[in-house]
Amino acid sequence: MQKVFIITGANRGLGKAFVDVLIKNENHFVISISRSQSEEQKTFAPAYFYFLKTDLAENTLGKKLCLLNDLISNEEIYFINNASIIEPITKIEHLDEDAIDKMISVNIKSTMMITKYLLSHFNDHKLSFVNISSGAANRAISNWSLYCASKAFINMFYNVAESEYEQHKFFNIDPGVMDTNMQKGIRETDFPDASNFKNLHEEGKLKLPKDVALEILKTIL
């Protein structure tokens, strides 16, 4: 039976690494909910890849999710909640309302919307929800208030979901520190713990997104 993978933020970083691995299996159909596609993704056959162009910071996701009904028939569905932003990295007193709204939309609201949609429209399917979490969900990092709190929020949201829907699977997975643009942004920002992240990079301790994607897929499939 074909497996459907819905991945947010699938154009680069860890999300793209998931696509790179999954697309090699012809029993997989990947739906990318992202703002753009990589050049390679533009060449993928429609039978294996669908690009649902969405900016998760905008309130347009709700209307677009009904497209999933046309794309999915009776397959097993995996939702990989991957898209995330970490900015603004700053003290709480400097947070502005737009930044708070954007973080809530991208890191929290979109996840809840997609999860709710799948549970209400595809509850008779075999569903797996994979939240790409972070060590920051359980560790307070100065100047990362929005990011830490957003990661903790979805962890708990999925813990509650697991208690409500025993027939489905819910994972909160910390991928570890990876060599992506998010880490580059962290290294370029000044905050109390910044040197730790610079050291991890200099010591070659960052994981490759492809290795992480393979490791996570081994756990969930």
Ligand X SMILES: NC(=O)c1ccc[n+]([C@@H]2O[C@H](COP(=O)([O-])OP(=O)(O)OC[C@H]3O[C@@H](n4cnc5c(N)ncnc54)[C@H](OP(=O)(O)O)[C@@H]3O)[C@@H](O)[C@H]2O)c1
Task: Tell me which residues touch ligand X (CB under 6 A).
Answer: 9, 11-15, 34-36, 55-57, 82-85, 106, 132, 134, 175, 177-178, 180-183
Taking the C-alpha atoms of residue 131 and residue 92, their distance in angstroms, rounded to an integer, is: 26
Residue 191 CB, nearest distance to ligand X (Å)? 15
Residue 137 CB, nearest distance to ligand X (Å)? 9
Q: Find residue 30's DSSP bridge partners.
A: 5, 49
Cα–Cα nearest to 177, from 164, 196, 159: 196
Consecutive H or E run containing 6: strand 3-8
3-state secondary structure of 46: coil
User: Which is closer to ligand X, CB of 125 or CB of 200?
Assistant: 200
Compute the half-sphere exposure of residue 35: CA atoms within 13 Å on the CB side of its CA: 8
User: Which is closer to ligand X, CB of 145 or CB of 183?
Assistant: 183
Residue nearest to ligand X (CB): 13
Residue 182 CB, nearest distance to ligand X (Å)? 4
User: Which is closer to ligand X, CB of 85 or CB of 161?
Assistant: 85
Residue 91 CB, nearest distance to ligand X (Å)? 20
3-state secondary structure of 135: helix
CB 165 within 8 A of CB 77: no
User: Which is closer to ligand X, CB of 75 or CB of 175?
Assistant: 175
Is 147 designated active site? Answer: yes
Q: Find residue 130's DSSP bridge partners.
A: 80, 171
By annotation, the residues acting in catalysis are: 147
